[in-house]
Amino acid sequence: MSRSALLQAAVASARLGLNHGATGNLSMRHDAGMLITPTAVPYERLAEGDLVLMALDGAVASGARRPSSEWRLHAGVYQRRADVNAIVHAHPRFATTLACLREDLPAVHYMIALAGGDRIRCSGYAPFGSAELSAAAVEALGDRQACLLANHGLVTVGGDLQLALRIALEVETVAEYWWRARAIGQPVLLTPAEIADARARFEDYS
Ligand SMILES: [Zn+2]
pLDDT tens digit string along 34-61?
Answer: 999 999 888 888 999 999 999 999 998 8
Are 89 and 134 a contacting pair, CB within 8 Å?
no
Q: What letter represents residue 60's amino acid?
A: V
Whether the per-residue pLDDT at 62 is higher than 80: the answer is no
DSSP code of 120?
E
Distances (CA, A) of 150 to 36, 65, 97, 101, 154: 23, 28, 10, 8, 9
Residues 6+ apart with CB under 8 A from 55: 32, 33, 61
Average pLDDT, stretch 168-191? Answer: 97
Please list the active-site residues. 70
CA of 7 from ligand 1 middle (Å) equals 18
Confidence check: pLDDT of 206 > 70 = no
- What pTM, to 2 d.p., does this model score? 0.95
Residues 6 or more apart whose Cβ sits within 8 Å of residue 117: 144, 195
Taking the CB of residue 137, how many other CB atoms lie within 10 A of it? 27
Instruction: Determine the distance separating the centroid of ligand 1 and the alpha carbon of 152, expressed in angstroms.
Output: 6
Least confident stretch, 57-61, 97-101, 173-177: 57-61
Ligand 1 centre distance from Cα of residue 199 (Å)? 28
How far lies 80's CA from each of 30, 128, 139, 156, 158, in Å? 15, 20, 10, 14, 13
Instruction: Compute the average pLDDT of residues 163-186.
Output: 97
